[in-house]
Structure formats: C-alpha cells, structure tokens
Amino acid sequence: MAHHAEELLPTTSRALLHRLAVAQAEGRTPSLVGAVVRGGRTVWTGSRSMIDDHAPTDDVQYRIGSISKTFAAVLVLRLRDEGLLDLSDPLERHLPGTSAGDLTIHQLLTHTSGLASETPEPWWERTVGTLRPELADVLGEQPVRHPAGRRHHYSNPGYALLGALVEQLRGEPWGQVLQREVLDPLGMTRTSLLPQMPHAGGFAVHPWADVMLPEPLTDTAVMAPAGQLWSTAADLCRWAAFLSAGDEKVLSPATVAEMRRPTTEPDGEEWTSSYGLGLQVIRRDGRVLYGHSGSMPGFLAWLWVSEADDVAAVVLTNTTSGSGVATVAGDLIRIVAEHEPRIPEPWRPMAEADPELLALTGPWYWGPTALALRLGADRRLELIPLGGPARASRFRPEADGSWTGLDGYYAGETLRVVRAADGTVSHLDIGSFVLTRAPYGPGEVIPGGVDPQGWQAF
C-alpha cells in the first residue's frame, strides 16, 4: 500500500518531537528515543537527551524489560504451530519436575495461571541470576497465589517457565533459539541478552532533587524470558511491523493476529486493559492498542500498535520510573492518526458476481426479528439488524460452502444454506437458528412448527 508509506508531514514530525521533548523535560529522563512505524516501515525517529548535542540514535540499545515476553510468546507459538505442543497442555507434559506442572501453557502465556508475580527474595530484577540458578529457585516453596484460570495475575516467573519449556523442546539455550528462529530471520541484529555498544546506562532519578544514581546492569539468567532483552528503536520498529503483519519465516499472520486477541473478550465500553497471548491490549483515547510495556531498574520501554490506524510507536528511556513518560508511545500514535488519518483503500466492486450468492442477499427473518444479509468482496456475508436490537455478525466463507461467524453472538458458529428437494433455497441455518424469507414461515422448517392458521388479527 504505497500511499501509506510516504514520510510524515513537517507539522506532524514537529508535533512528535514536541511530545518527546516535553516528556524528557517534565519526566526528567536522562534520555528518550521515540520512533513511529506506518505501513510497515519506520517513518519517524526522534530523541532528546540531558547532554547538549548528543541525543541517542535509533541504534543505541536500551533495556526493554517485559517487551521480552512478546519474544518468549512467539517462540512458544512456533512450537504450537509445528504441532509439538497444544496450548491446553499442562506444563508437566513437556517440562517435567516443576512445582507448577499442572498449569497449562495457555495459562502461563496469558498470566491466568495464578502464579506469584515475582520470585522469592531478593528482588530478581536488581540481583544476578546466579542467585537463582534453577527453576525451583524462581518459583519458591508456594508459587501459586490464585486458583488457576480464575483471574489475570501478572507473573514474571510464569515466563521463566515458558523460556525453560522452549529450551527443553529445542534442546538449546533460550537466547540461542531466539537468535536463530526470530532475530536473524527478521534482521534484528541489535537485539541481545546482554548489552552491546553503543548502549545507554540505566539511571534512577531522585524524586525530590535533580540528581541521578546509576542502576546495576544484571544478567537475570533463567528469568531472561521475562525481561532481560536489550534492543534499539530501529530493531523494535521491525518487531512492531512483524507483530502487525506476521512473517512466514517466523509466525503466520493468523497466529500473530491470535496473539493480540484478548483471552477473555473485555466486557462493556469501559474496559481499559486486557491481555492476549503474550501481548497487552489497552484502550487509550478511544483507540485499541496492542503491544507491551517494559521496565527494569534504569529503563522503561513501550511498544504499541494501532491496527485501525496502521501506526505503531516505540519509546525507550533510561530511567527507573518516570511520571510523564508512560503515555508517550500512545500519544505518538494519536498525533500521527490525528494529523494524518489513514486513507482508506478505495471501494471496488466484486471481481465476479455469483448469482447464487446474490440471491441470498436482502431481508431474512429469525421468527419475527427482521435482519438483512449483505454480500461483500471475498464472498463474505454480513448479517445486519433491521430496526431493533438483534444478533449481528460477519461471516467468512469456507471451502465446503458454509460460512463461519467472525464476531458477536455467532463467532465460530456455522451458517449453512439449506435447500429444498428441488434445489431452491429453503432457509438459512445458523447454529440451529432458522432464518426464513418471511416472518415464521414456511411452517414446516420452523422448529416446533407454527399455528396452522398462520398470522391473524386478534
């Protein structure tokens, strides 16, 4: 889509730089790098620093913290797509001998396992991993805090288990698997387990004074899949493009789309955050964003993608905690979307009209409820309520001539065209619901039949 990929307008670029500058000044961060991806490629990078004339480039490494979890999840889903595991499998089936063996891989990926948020003391993020050489050391005596599958409870040790699962099934260290299966194919040459020059140093900024304290650079060892990785804005732009579109060398577009679907669909209009398979899903400024945030002592990082706007943003900082920087990546997306809203693809008619499909369009009735069926490109059908509330859904065609619901009440349900003995269309069946061309008619196809006198005045 060439028309999405042109550079940003000068006014947009200045608004983005202004947002970064305000964040660095008000958030008191030693340095801050931001980048924007549109149409699958990087269209803007900017940075601010406390040092005059020395702002970091998009090739400077920062610690990315829990954005590491998105890489761990991709490795697990590669194993699933190869048929080596099922997400509903208990961990014990593939990684025997842990105290969390009855938890499922799906629960670990989605933070619904009930495992503790952190390891036993001392705090793992600021201490060397050699203090906790084994999985048992990151789980502790009683690792479970909640009944499995009941609630979302963020767990760092859960991702250490997923990394160990990858090591077990691949027979080599997690970092090596990541390098060969993900980083090399995507050309992410500046993403690594340990820092490589040039990289930023991590700092804590005093809450009540403009002074700084260096943070230790730790190797968290078995906890690495939860938060160890270092990366650059340029590499994370490649990662954002991958999380948008997939790449057959690493994961199919369908599997990447599966990652960003909330595990439990958020209810109501008020939800603000949810979690998919290794991806956070948030709602900000009326936009749904997916990606992940990250924090390690000395560093904060964000990567968000807006599917609707085809825009992603990355922000990397080298400060332990920063008020005023948490919303910057979401703001960069908003600025681009507001200054340069996405230009929709032109409407085009279908390549060829199928008379049988055309004959299915128009009004249908589920009992007395009026609906209409619309035919779109790619043979997709859409069921639309006519007047009053009713169950709407979109359907994608299947090879056997049926359709599968994509959303709403009928998500995953089958729509079939039922024909009479003479081949004409009798009715539609959606998961046992009968839709006919007239309200409650003809009687012989309606479950339970209809009163022989039909519709009448009372």
Residue with more model confidence, 362 or 322: 362
Q: How confident is the model at residue 266 (pLDDT cuts 50, 70, 90)?
A: low
Q: Are residues 311 and 371 in the same domain?
A: no
Q: Of 339, 373, 407, which marks where a domain is finished?
A: 339
Residue range 190-212: mean pLDDT, rounded: 95
Domain at 424, CATH number: 2.40.128
pLDDT in tens, 300-330: 999 999 999 999 999 999 999 877 899 999 9
Interval 143-172: pLDDT, tens: 999 999 888 999 999 999 999 999 999 999
Confidence of residue 21 (pLDDT cuts 50, 70, 90): very high
Residue range(s) defining the domain that contains residue 429: 355-445
Q: How many domains does the chain have?
A: 2
CATH of the domain at 281: 3.40.710.10
Both 79 and 225 in one domain: the answer is yes
For the segment 391-409, the average pLDDT, to the nearest whole number, is: 94
Asked if residue 68 and residue 205 are part of one domain, the reply reads: yes
Q: Do 306 and 209 fall within a single domain?
A: yes
Q: What is the mean pLDDT of residues 64-91?
A: 97
Average pLDDT, the chain: 93
For residue 322, the model assigns a pLDDT of: 79
Residue 285 confidence class, pLDDT cut points 50, 70, 90: confident
Please determine, for residue 2, whether its predicted confidence score (pLDDT) is greater than 50.
no
Given a cut of 80, whether residue 5 has pLDDT beyond it is no
Q: What angle do CA 165, 170, 172 make, to 5 degrees?
A: 95
pLDDT band at 389, cuts 50/70/90?
A: confident
- % of the chain at pLDDT higher than 70: 98
- Asked if the structure places residue 111 within a domain, the reply is yes
Residue 252 domain flag: yes
What percent of the chain stands above pLDDT 90? 79
The answer to whether residue 245 sits within a structural domain is: yes
Prediction pTM value: 0.89
